[in-house]
C-alpha cells in the first residue's frame, strides 16, 4: 500500500474542487478530475508496479507505472510527510 485516505480529509473539499474546475471547463458525465492528494500516509509508486484507485459504490481502475529511468525509493507508507503537511495546514488555519 502507498496511500490510504478518505476524501473527507483532503485539503480542498470535493465540492470546492468541482466548483473551480467547472469555472474553467465543462464537466461531463464520465469525466475524471484528479485533484491531487492530501499527503496523508503517502508513499511513492515505482517502475513496474500497478496502482489501483477506487471509489466506493462507483468502481475502480488500475494502471501500470512505467519509469524509463528506473528510479527507486523506500517502499511503504511514510506517515511523517502527512504529519508535516497537516502541521502546516493547521498553522495556516490558525493564522487566519
Q: Which domain does 39 fall in, by range?
A: 7-95
- Burial of residue 38, with CB atoms counted within 10 A of its CB: 0-12 exposed, 13-18 middle, 19 or more buried: buried
Across-strand partners of 59?
A: 55
Residue 21 belongs to some domain of the structure? yes
What pLDDT was estimated at residue 32?
A: 82
- pTM surpassing 0.75? no
Residue 52 belongs to some domain of the structure? yes
Considering its fold, how many domains does the chain have in total?
1
Asked if 47 contacts 67 with a C-beta cutoff of 8 angstroms, the reply is yes
The pLDDT of residue 25 is above 70: yes
Residue 58 belongs to some domain of the structure? yes
Q: Cell triple for residue 88?
A: 502546516
pLDDT digits (tens, 9 = 90+) for 38-66: 666 667 788 999 988 888 888 898 999 99
Amino acid at each position: 500500500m502507498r496511500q490510504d485516505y478518505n476524501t473527507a480529509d483532503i485539503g480542498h473539499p470535493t465540492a470546492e474542487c468541482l466548483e473551480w474546475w467547472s469555472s474553467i471547463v465543462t464537466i461531463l458525465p464520465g469525466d475524471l478530475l484528479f485533484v491531487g492528494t492530501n499527503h496523508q500516509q503517502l508513499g511513492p509508486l515505482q517502475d513496474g508496479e500497478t496502482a489501483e484507485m477506487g471509489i466506493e459504490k462507483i468502481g475502480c481502475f488500475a494502471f501500470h507505472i512505467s519509469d524509463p529511468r528506473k528510479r527507486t525509493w523506500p517502499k511503504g507508507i511514510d506517515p511523517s510527510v502527512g504529519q508535516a503537511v497537516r502541521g502546516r495546514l493547521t498553522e495556516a488555519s490558525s493564522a487566519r
